[in-house]
Structure 1
Amino acid sequence: MDKKSIRAEVDRLKQDFEKLCSDGKVSTEMRTIMNSMLLIVELILAIFLEKKTRKDNKNSSLPSSQTDKDETAKSSPGSKGKGKEVSGKITNVRTKETVTIAKAETCDVCGAALDQTPCREHERRTKIDIIFEKVMNHVDAEIKECPNCTATVKGDFPEDMPGPLQYGNGLKAFAIHLIISQMVALNRVQKQISAMIGTVISEATLLKFVWRLYQALEKWEAKSIESILQAPSIHVDETSFRVDQKNHWIHVYSSGGTTLKLLHRKRGKEAMVDLNIIPRYGGVIIHDCWASYLSYDHCGHGLCGSHLLRELTFHQQPG
């Protein structure tokens, strides 16, 4: 038995039922029930037997990790790098742009003066360069002797300058970016920064930059969890992430302007229990109808509109 024979059998049953209806041997109630059942059978055939469109992350709730690679993961012809070229502009940069007028003062052919001749148009040439600028801010605190009691009084330094020498947030961010994001070795980071500012920063100081960021993020994470737990509704999801060549999962919890991403080895309820956010939450969770979320009946549930639209897209596609 294949889908063609099933379709032929369903068509035969429909013809037999229509003949019974035309002969007056079927009541109105029975006719309504059978028409509804035949409609359901038609839908089942169309969706599960005759549908050829494959589900992916654009027309279903399947995550990207369980579907074929899309266009953004494919290399362009002739390129040696992986992935498709990213389009768009980077906006978090500071650009210093100048325009200089190269005046045409004399004619190159006859030598006539062109000072009073109006300009007809311009031809532009552009040079783009990067100049690393070392910024040093010195604060000199006044030291005075009180004429009344002969006490020594010193001016107050800014709160972010607790010692004789400190480094600014821009330099710290650059060092952390090289160490964490680009995974550059510490000695190479030392040489890179030394070439830019003329000062060698010890490896211990570089690691301290990373440690202080970790401490700041730990405090932010605790505040964010409390904020999410108090929100009337939160959006939850999970996506795969490779760690040491093994598949892990990033669990996402977001509400308003707060988005929290937590890494766990598991995807399902075991991870949700360990992360301990949903078990303590009493509002409404918006998700993709995954069974692990629906297992929590102490909170409300809402289905993600994007996932519903993807499912509708799949059922609307021909073939």
Structure 2
Amino acid sequence: MQAGDGRPSYDELAALVVEQARVIGELRAENDRLRVENERLSGRVAELERRLGRNSGNSSLPPSADTFTRPEKKPGGQSRRRRGGQPGSAGGGLAMVDRPDTVDDHLPESCTGCGAGPGLADSTGYERRQVWDIPLVTVTVTEHRAHRCRCACGTTTRAAMPATVAGSPTSYGPNLRALAAYLLVFQHIPVERTAQLITDLTGANVSTGWVSGVLGQAAEAVADSLKLIRALLTLGHVLHADETTTRIGSGRRWLHVACTERLTLLGLGPRSREGANALGVLPEFRGVVVHDSLALYDGYPDARHQLCGAHLIRELTAAAEDHPDERWPLQVRWALAELSRPRRPPSRGWLTLRRNGRWSTWSPSTTGWRSGCRCIRVPRAVNRARPATCWSACATAALTCCASPTFRAWCPSPITPASARCGRSRPR
């Protein structure tokens, strides 16, 4: 009911207030829903941008996966040296030899004065040039005949075939088999292309089935060597373990590796602890194993574990790119790179201190590592497939929080100040 002056009545105003309250409630609920959806989409966009920005310089991706972004190359300083070989360098040009394999003498066809044909005895000097080349490679067929000989005593004795000759009437020799194994294993040439390459170069019309069978023969030949390599790796003090992908046919397979500076053992297997165990090294290894903190390596408690420095550098690079306002990634990365260099004798910037009756050497890189690790702060918004791998590892090595003034003068990046941001708890 309306009042006499045309204004709405109390009941109409009350109904309007109730309706407006309902609409406001719906709008607030819609606003809350949109805010949550916006946060979710913003996080997803940030994660996609983070993944899109990954390359071989800030992640474990190989250089062949640098499709959209490539690692930034720092501009090098202006060098005063000219391009090319420098004065005093040994050089890598093709030098002449004193004793060539063959010599071809070229004489003039006729004398330009009288027209007579000169001989080699008439030579008064020569100009020499050497050509390095390979002989024409072509397959040769060798027939082996094992004779039966009858002695004067009446006994007939038969000669044995060489061990390198197969039991079939015809076969390919050891040199051709070695070439096929080299092209397959070392050069990673597919089976079909290996067969075509051997046919084109040597004239031997080998089949893809024969090329595939060479791998099994080669594996039998190096079986004892593999046992020795496996034993030496197991007894070593430091071992690097890793895994990567390779293509076999149209499928992708995982390739596990255990290696040192001089020995390398590769093996196909699933990306699991069973695949790593198939190499026969890690289950019995008792030294220091260096890896990329993949979960499968946690199943070897008898070994001492160390995170790969190259992976830490890439993780710190990614942290610096994801959080440009944070200073600790640059500080820890610089300190880690300095600590990875060969140990230098005490010099400028090094101090020898006496603690608890023992002398110890102090360096700015050690202080930078410790102080940077204790200042680690990972925002809660970070959404990573492997949460805080390098940050947790760095924090366990931290001993102090404050960066000294001496280190500020050495470090090329700003130092994270000791403040409330430098929490002493483990990173989130």
**Scaled by the length of structure 1, what TM-score is found?**
0.51
Q: CA deviation at 1:159?
A: 1.9
Name the SS for the 2:203 alignment partner.
helix
- Supply the distance in 2 between the matched residues of 1:242 and 1:202 (Cα, whole angstroms): 22
The answer to whether residue 139 in structure 2 is matched with residue 134 in structure 1 is yes
AA at the equivalent of 1:299: A
Mapping 1:300-319, distance limit 5 Å: 300-302=304-306, 311-312=333-334
Is the 1:190–1:203 contact (alpha carbons within 8 Å) kept by the matching residues of 2?
A: no
The CA RMSD over aligned residues, in Å, is 5.0
Task: Summarize deviations over 1:206-251 as a string: whole Å, max 9, x none.
Answer: 5543443355466755554344223343222333435567665432
Kindly tell me: are residues 302 and 103 of structure 1, through their superposed partners in 2, closer, same or farther at Cα, counting changes over 3 Å?
farther
The answer to whether the 8 A contact 2:165-2:173 is kept is: no
Equivalent residue number for residue 118 of structure 1: 124
Alignment of 1:263-278 (within 5 A): 263-266=268-271, 271-272=275-276, 277-278=281-282
Contact 1:61 1:288 in 2 (8 A): no
Partner of 1:192: 199
Cα contact 1:239–1:250 (8 A) shared by 2: yes
Counting aligned pairs with the same residue, the percent is: 23
- Does the CA-based 8 Å contact 2:60-2:311 persist in structure 1? no
Matched positions, count? 237
CA distance in 2, matches of 1:117, 1:291: 78
SS of the residue aligned with 1:170? Answer: helix
Output the CA distance in 2 between the equivalents of 1:191 and 1:116. Answer: 47
Residues 168-220 of structure 1 deviation map (CA, whole Å, 9 limit, x = unaligned) = 1222244557788233279x7599389825xx667765554344335546675
Q: Which position in structure 1 is the counterpart of 2:301? A: 297
- Paired letter, 1:151: T
- Correspondence for 2:107: 103
Between structure 1 and structure 2, the one with the greater Rg is 2
* Aligned counterpart for 1:169 among listed residues 171, 174, 192: 174
Q: CA offset at residue 119 of structure 1?
A: 3.1
Give the unaligned 5+ runs of structure 1. 1-53, 72-87, 90-95
- Quote the offset at 1:255 in angstroms: 3.8
Structure 1 letter corresponding to 2:235: Q
Shift of 1:282: 1.7
Q: Are the counterparts in 1 of residues 55 and 70 from structure 2 also a CA contact under 8 Å?
A: no
Measure, in 1, the Cα distance between the counterparts of 2:259 and 2:102: 42
SS at match of 1:181: coil
The aligned counterpart of 1:81 is none
- 1:1-319 to structure 2, matched below 5 A, reads 57=56, 62-64=60-62, 68-69=69-70, 98-104=102-108, 106-108=110-112, 111=115, 116=122, 118-119=124-125, 121-122=127-128, 124=129, 131-148=136-153, 150-163=154-167, 164-175=169-180, 181-184=189-192, 189=196, 192=199, 196-197=203-204, 205=210, 207-216=212-221, 221=226, 224-242=229-247, 248-255=253-260, 257-266=262-271, 271-272=275-276, 277-287=281-291, 293=297, 296-302=300-306, 311-312=333-334
2:113 & 2:71 partners in 1: Cα distance?
60
Q: Assess, with a 3 A threshold, how the Cα gap between structure 1 residues 256 and 128 changes in structure 2: closer, same or farther.
A: closer
In 2, the alpha carbon distance for the partners of 1:141 and 1:293 equals 57
Secondary structure at the residue paired with 2:191?
coil
Output the CA distance in 1 between the equivalents of 2:141 and 2:207: 19
8 A contact 2:253–2:269 mirrored in 1:
yes
Cα distance in 2, alignment partners of residues 109 and 254 from structure 1: 73
| Shift in Å, 1:264 | 3.8
Any conservation in 2 of the 1:178–1:184 contact (CA below 8 Å)?
no
2: CA distance, partners of 1:143 / 1:244: 48
| Residue of structure 2 equivalent to 1:38 | none
Contact 1:175 1:189 in 2 (8 A): no
Q: CA deviation at 1:131?
A: 1.6
Structure 2-normalised TM-score? 0.40
CA shift in 2, pair 1:253/1:265, >3 Å: same
Compared with structure 1, are the counterparts of its residues 309 and 112 closer, same or farther at alpha carbon in structure 2 (3 Å cutoff)? farther
